[in-house]
């Protein structure tokens, strides 16, 4: 683990994670004896990004847009339909089992639900040491408990509580246990899927602060998935907006929050309530009509066109690429990408 | 019992008033005071936001107002819930039923489990009219379609016979709202109506509630833990913590200068742009276990304004002027702190 002491990407550093054209289609099958395939749920459909040491990529998007599926592929819980995931330059989708297992030590996950993601029958010590059982060559058994206690200390829990069970901890404390477990193998990448959504407002800030502290301390790179856009802005260097399995816009936090150029990002940001009542009468809001289409049968051309107020003929025929267009400074998957609308959002 | 109608309402009596409400759960581990002296009121056209974290007693308060609390295990240990001056807690079950759904109605967080999966949505909405208004099936179905249009469900006439699972989460919440406003209630309680929904859908539902309130003039009690939602639509807010109202104020006042350390801490923990990447303010510690409530002020273990007095004296909800209340011994100091 590098000790960078700084947050944010080292500009010259090689990416720790390179994701290219990642696709996950879940086949829809019917029939019990003779399963036949009837199309597929296009949960993730062509996602690419790089992540550098110490950097945080925020991923936002509505329910069903494919965020968790992306996360599961990154940590190897799901195999991609196609595409590549390179960790330190090695494609984990191509390695043999043993090689893949080794690489996966380097990329760990924190889950949303601190209540169900910890086995209630295991002590905190056993939970944190579980990764050492799976990757037996990392640390001799005799040193594991000591390491678990160190990890408890790192995440701000009392090392003496190593023999307690999950139910003896509050939600925020359980999330800290999950973080300690994720850190056990000294990964360089943490995938956080809604790590604070299940926590009370007053506890969320504690966990966010811990994640930022750990990033500084260990130079960790984060993929940070959340639906609270102000939390994502706070922690992220770059942000990608996801819609129906694709990144529709990517940029630095200011590029996205202050200069969103994709209509969906603009609508999403304008829907977020401001945390102050001041100026609420004059606030403009883009209210989207209709529902998100089914990922089993996404619209032709631009996937957002069924809800887009700017849609034209070309949007139903030509799939807009995620690329930088004239008049904008960052990639957006819209034929008519343009500068920011005067709408409110979390500032 | 006589109830005045909407137009002859006595303006000195609040539309709905909760006073010193106490609700306990008698569990094997002891008596849990889920609601411990809650007071607030709401008037026509007014939106009161009840803000609080998980377990602070918001839903139990709402269920007590509606008269749908399971007793046992719950026990109403004291207080009053007055609708136009009449204490609902003293009414007989039939009198209560005449108010529930007709004068005061409620929508729930989880629309899917609140709707019956085996009946069409049209049938469920129409039931309100058949049961409470004695309408024929045909007439009731016609009214159901009108209501579905009023809550902006596209192609209502075509979808009236569809079942709940055929609708998205946002559309199901619209159906719940249609049922809740079917009988033209004067008070609508919305218990976390958008927590399970995406922010773009949340914005649509909030807009709908505001529009319906504008049309009908109903009083709205919005239960939420989202400070942004409160800032967006509430006129007043009651901030709950550990079964108590900690602060009550107009929403502009509360956000500009909170008068309770808890409200202040919540507002300060919202990420601000100038803190980007740095430490967020956070309230230390965790909410109390209601079975082992701390002595004195329940917020004391987490409070940076605490003094010895807070350990022994339970602060009442002080009237601090300007229609505001704060359950803090040192509210003046907290207020002054905001001005710095
Ligand atoms: N195992 C599976 N089989 C079939 N479809 C699936 C499977 N897992 C996910 N999906 C579908 O893939 C799509 C993306 O789901 P995913 O859980 O990745 O979304 P998400 O962005 O994480 O949503 P949320 O914000 O609700 O967590 C959804 O339509 C979902 O129903
Ligand atoms: N049936 C019950 N038996 C015992 N305790 C209960 C019961 N129902 C609620 N409680 C307790 O009463 C307290 C208040 O619960 P309530 O549901 O009102 O919280 P809330 O503010 O609505 O929280 P949330 O935001 O999670 O919905 C909690 O401590 C809860 O555990
Ligand atoms: S490509 Fe067309 S439909 Fe898609 S977001 Fe842009 S304008 Fe809208
Ligand atoms: S009464 Fe004391 S402990 Fe309670 S909120 Fe006020 S200052 Fe803090
Ligand atoms: Mg998810
Ligand atoms: Mg509740």
**Who among A231, A267, A270 is closest to B271 (CB)?**
A231
Q: Looking at the structure, do residues B155 and B238 belong to the same domain, yes or no? A: no
pLDDT at site A93 = 82
A21-35, A77-91, A325-339: least confident range:
A21-35
Q: How confident is the model at residue A206 (pLDDT cuts 50, 70, 90)?
A: confident
pLDDT at site A339 = 59
pLDDT at site A347 = 39
pLDDT at site A2 = 41
pLDDT at site A34 = 63
Q: Looking at the structure, do residues B128 and B198 belong to the same domain, yes or no? A: no
Q: Which two tokens stand for residue B178?
A: 């249609």
CA-nearest residue of chain B to A235? B277
Contact A69 CB / ligand 1 (< 6 Å):
yes
- For A71-92, the DSSP string reads HHHHTTSS--SEEEEEETTEET
Inform me whether the pLDDT recorded for B6 exceeds 50.
no
CA distance A150 to A160: 10
Contact B297 CB / ligand 4 (< 6 Å):
yes
Contact A65 CB / ligand 1 (< 6 Å):
yes
Contact B58 CB / ligand 2 (< 6 Å):
yes
Q: Please, where are the H alpha helices in chain B?
A: 58-66, 93-99, 111-114, 121-133, 137-150, 156-159, 169-181, 199-216, 227-233, 251-256, 261-268, 308-312, 331-339
pLDDT cut 70: percent of chain A above it: 91
Q: Looking at the structure, do residues B125 and B264 belong to the same domain, yes or no? A: no
**Bridging pattern class, strands A238-243 and A56-61:** parallel
Which strand (E) or helix (H) includes residue A28? Answer: strand A17-30
Q: How confident is the model at residue A37 (pLDDT cuts 50, 70, 90)?
A: low
Q: How confident is the model at residue B200 (pLDDT cuts 50, 70, 90)?
A: confident
Q: How confident is the model at residue B340 (pLDDT cuts 50, 70, 90)?
A: very low
Does residue B78 lie in a domain region? Answer: no
Count of C-beta atoms within a 10 Å radius of residue B301: 15
Looking at B184, B216, B248, the residue that finishes a domain is B184
Q: Which two tokens stand for residue A255?
A: 């590029």
pLDDT at site B339 = 53
Does residue B139 lie in a domain region? Answer: yes
Integer Rg of chain B from CA: 21
Kindly report the average pLDDT of chain B as a whole number. 89
Q: Which two tokens stand for residue A27?
A: 């086949």
Q: How confident is the model at residue A156 (pLDDT cuts 50, 70, 90)?
A: confident
State pLDDT tens for residues A64-74.
899 999 999 99
Taking CA atoms, B297 is separated from A339, B136, B262, in Å, by 51, 56, 11
Does residue B2 lie in a domain region? Answer: no
CA-nearest residue of chain B to A209? B279
Number of domains in chain B: 2
Inform me whether the pLDDT recorded for A305 exceeds 50.
yes
Highest mean pLDDT among A30-34, A325-329, B247-251: B247-251
Inform me whether the pLDDT recorded for B324 exceeds 90.
yes
Looking at B133, B156, B184, the residue that finishes a domain is B184
Q: Whose CA is nearest to atom 24 of ligand 1?
A: A63
Q: Looking at the structure, do residues B253 and B122 belong to the same domain, yes or no? A: no
Q: In what order do the strands lie in the sheet with A36-51?
A: A36-51, A17-30, A82-87, A90-91
DSSP3 helix / strand / coil % (chain B, rounded to 5): 40, 25, 35
User: Which residues of chain B make contact with A267, given a CB cutoff of 8 A?
Assistant: 200
Contact A4 CB / ligand 1 (< 6 Å):
no
**What three-state secondary structure class fits B28?**
coil
> Of A320, A323, A327, A332, which is best to mutate to test ligand 3, by the most ligand atoms within 8 angstroms of its C-beta?
A320
pLDDT at site B15 = 94
Greatest CA separation for chain B: 68
Triad A130, A135, A137: Cα angle to 5°? 125
Residue B76 alpha carbon to ligand 2 centre in Å: 14
Residue A239 alpha carbon to ligand 6 centre in Å: 32
Taking CA atoms, A65 is separated from A42, A142, A297, B153, B200, in Å, by 10, 44, 13, 23, 13
Inform me whether the pLDDT recorded for A7 exceeds 50.
yes
Does residue B82 lie in a domain region? Answer: no
Q: Looking at the structure, do residues B201 and B98 belong to the same domain, yes or no? A: yes
pLDDT at site A291 = 78
Looking at B184, B219, B238, the residue that finishes a domain is B184
Cβ-defined contact of B228 to A275 (cutoff 8 Å): yes
Cβ-defined contact of A206 to B282 (cutoff 8 Å): yes
Q: Looking at the structure, do residues B307 and B243 belong to the same domain, yes or no? A: yes
**Residue ranges per domain, chain A?**
238-347
Q: Looking at the structure, do residues B169 and B298 belong to the same domain, yes or no? A: no
pLDDT at site A1 = 40
What is the pLDDT averaged over residues A182-211?
Answer: 88
The single residue listed with the structure tokens 């007071």 is B39
Q: Whose CA is nearest to atom 24 of ligand 2?
A: B54
Inform me whether the pLDDT recorded for B146 exceeds 50.
yes
Inform me whether the pLDDT recorded for B132 exceeds 90.
no
Cis check for the bond before B73: say yes or no (omega within 30 of 0). yes
pLDDT cut 90: percent of chain B above it: 54
> Of A263, A264, A303, A337, which is best to mutate to test ligand 3, by the most ligand atoms within 8 angstroms of its C-beta?
A263
Q: Looking at the structure, do residues B130 and B265 belong to the same domain, yes or no? A: no
User: Which residues of chain A make contact with B252, given a CB cutoff of 8 A?
Assistant: 277-278
**Residue B289, φ and ψ in degrees, nearest 5:** -75, 120
The Cα of A242 is separated from the nearest Cα of chain B by a number of Å equal to 13
**What three-state secondary structure class fits B98?**
helix
pLDDT at site B203 = 86
Taking CA atoms, B339 is separated from A171, A206, B256, B332, in Å, by 34, 26, 9, 11
pLDDT at site B5 = 45
Triad A124, A129, A133: Cα angle to 5°? 140
pLDDT at site B267 = 92
Q: Looking at the structure, do residues B135 and B193 belong to the same domain, yes or no? A: no
Q: Looking at the structure, do residues B177 and B193 belong to the same domain, yes or no? A: no
pLDDT at site A115 = 73
CA distance B340 to B324: 21
In the DSSP assignment, the letter for residue A211 is H
CA-nearest residue of chain A to B241? A202
**Sign for the pseudo-dihedral over CA of A146, A148, A154, A156:** negative
- Neighbouring-strand partners of residue B51: B224, B239
State pLDDT tens for residues A108-145.
999 877 777 888 899 999 999 998 888 888 888 888 99
Q: Which two tokens stand for residue A317?
A: 């025929």
**What three-state secondary structure class fits A311?**
coil
In the DSSP assignment, the letter for residue B308 is H
**Residue A286, φ and ψ in degrees, nearest 5:** -90, 115
Inform me whether the pLDDT recorded for A331 exceeds 90.
yes
Query: Is A229 touching B (CB cutoff 8 A)?
Result: yes
Q: Which two tokens stand for residue B6?
A: 């909407």
Q: How confident is the model at residue A329 (pLDDT cuts 50, 70, 90)?
A: confident
pLDDT at site A337 = 84
Cβ-defined contact of B269 to A205 (cutoff 8 Å): yes
Which CATH number do you get for residue B248? 3.40.50.300
Contact A83 CB / ligand 3 (< 6 Å):
no
ipTM of predicted complex: 0.82
Q: How confident is the model at residue A6 (pLDDT cuts 50, 70, 90)?
A: low
- Are the C-beta atoms of residues B196 and B109 closer than 8 Å to each other? yes
State pLDDT tens for residues B244-296.
999 999 999 999 999 999 999 999 988 877 778 788 888 888 888 888 888 89
Q: Which two tokens stand for residue B273?
A: 């742009």
Kindly report the average pLDDT of chain A as a whole number. 87
Q: Which two tokens stand for residue A338?
A: 């343009």
Domain that holds residue B302: 43-62+90-103+187-336
**Who among B202, B269, B278 is closest to A271 (CB)?**
B202
The single residue listed with the structure tokens 């295990």 is B73
Cβ-defined contact of B154 to A276 (cutoff 8 Å): no
Contact B52 CB / ligand 2 (< 6 Å):
yes
CA distance B284 to A188: 29
Q: How confident is the model at residue B327 (pLDDT cuts 50, 70, 90)?
A: very high
Taking CA atoms, B224 is separated from A165, A275, B19, B234, in Å, by 31, 14, 20, 11
Between A266 and A33, name the one with better pLDDT: A266
Q: How confident is the model at residue A201 (pLDDT cuts 50, 70, 90)?
A: confident
Residue A268 alpha carbon to ligand 3 centre in Å: 15
A156-170, A216-230, B49-63: least confident range:
A156-170
**Who among B200, B279, B287 is closest to A288 (CB)?**
B200
Q: Which two tokens stand for residue B214?
A: 């504008």
Does residue B4 lie in a domain region? Answer: no
């Amino acid at each position: 683990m590098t000790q960078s002491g700084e947050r944010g990407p080292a500009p010259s550093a090689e990416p720790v994670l390179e994701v290219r054209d990642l696709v996950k289609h879940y086949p829809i099958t019917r029939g019990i004896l003779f399963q036949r395939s009837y199309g597929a749920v296009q949960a993730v459909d062509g996602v690419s990004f790089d992540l550098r040491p110490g950097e945080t990529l925020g991923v936002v998007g509505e329910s069903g847009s494919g965020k968790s599926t992306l996360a599961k592929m990154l940590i190897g819980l799901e195999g991609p339909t196609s595409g590549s995931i390179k960790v330190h330059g090695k494609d984990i989708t191509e390695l043999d089992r043993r090689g893949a297992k080794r690489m996966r030590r380097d990329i760990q996950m924190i889950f949303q639900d601190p209540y169900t993601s910890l086995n209630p029958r295991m002590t905190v010590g056993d939970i944190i040491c579980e990764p050492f059982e799976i990757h037996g060559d990392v640390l001799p058994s005799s040193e594991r408990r000591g390491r678990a206690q160190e990890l408890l200390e790192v995440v701000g829990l009392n090392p003496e509580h190593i023999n307690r069970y999950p139910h003896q901890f509050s939600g925020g404390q359980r999330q800290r246990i999950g973080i300690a477990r994720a850190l056990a193998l000294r990964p360089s990448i943490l995938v956080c899927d809604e790590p604070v959504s299940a926590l009370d407002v007053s506890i969320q800030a504690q966990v966010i602060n811990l994640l930022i502290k750990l990033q500084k301390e260990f130079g960790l790179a984060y993929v940070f998935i959340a639906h609270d856009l102000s939390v994502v802005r706070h922690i992220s260097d770059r942000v990608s907006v996801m819609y129906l399995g694709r990144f529709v816009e990517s940029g630095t936090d200011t590029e996205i929050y202050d200069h969103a150029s994709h209509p969906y990002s603009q609508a999403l940001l304008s829907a977020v309530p401001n945390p102050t009542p001041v100026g609420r009468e004059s606030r403009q809001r883009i209210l989207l009509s209709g529902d998100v289409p089914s990922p089993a049968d996404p619209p032709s051309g631009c996937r957002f066109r069924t809800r887009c107020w700017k849609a034209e003929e070309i949007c139903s025929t030509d799939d807009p690429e995620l690329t930088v267009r004239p008049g904008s400074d960052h990639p957006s998957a819209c034929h008519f990408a343009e500068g920011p609308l005067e709408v409110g959002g979390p500032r | 019992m006589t109830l005045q109608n909407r137009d002859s309402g006595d303006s000195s009596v609040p539309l709905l008033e909760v006073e010193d409400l106490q609700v306990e759960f008698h569990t094997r581990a002891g008596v849990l005071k889920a609601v411990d002296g809650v007071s607030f009121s709401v008037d026509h056209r007014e939106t009161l936001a009840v803000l609080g974290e998980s377990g602070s007693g918001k839903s139990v308060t709402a269920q007590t107002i509606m008269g749908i609390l399971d007793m046992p295990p719950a026990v109403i240990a004291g207080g009053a819930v007055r609708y136009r001056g009449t204490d609902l807690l003293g009414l007989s079950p039939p009198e209560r039923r005449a108010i529930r759904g007709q004068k005061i109605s409620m929508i729930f967080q989880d629309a899917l489990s609140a709707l019956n999966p085996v009946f069409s949505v049209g049938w469920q909405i129409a039931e309100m009219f058949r049961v409470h208004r004695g309408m024929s099936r045909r007439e009731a179905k016609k009214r159901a379609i009108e209501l579905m249009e009023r809550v902006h469900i596209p192609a209502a006439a075509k979808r009236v016979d569809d079942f709940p699972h055929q609708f998205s989460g946002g559309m199901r919440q619209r159906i719940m709202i249609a049922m809740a406003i079917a009988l033209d209630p004067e008070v609508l309680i919305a218990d976390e109506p958008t927590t399970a929904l995406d922010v773009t859908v949340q914005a649509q539902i909030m807009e709908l509630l505001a529009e319906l309130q504008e049309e009908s003039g109903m009083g709205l009690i919005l239960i939420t833990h989202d400070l942004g939602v409160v800032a967006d639509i509430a006129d007043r807010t009651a901030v709950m913590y550990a079964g108590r109202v900690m602060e009550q104020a107009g929403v502009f006042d509360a956000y500009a200068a909170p008068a309770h350390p808890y409200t202040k801490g919540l507002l300060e923990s919202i990420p601000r742009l100038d803190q980007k990447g740095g430490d967020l303010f956070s309230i230390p510690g965790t909410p109390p276990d209601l079975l082992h409530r701390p002595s004195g002020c329940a917020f004391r273990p987490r409070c940076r304004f605490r003094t010895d007095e807070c350990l022994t004296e339970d602060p009442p909800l002080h009237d601090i002027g300007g229609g505001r209340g704060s359950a803090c011994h040192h509210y003046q100091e907290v207020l002054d702190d905001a001005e710095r």
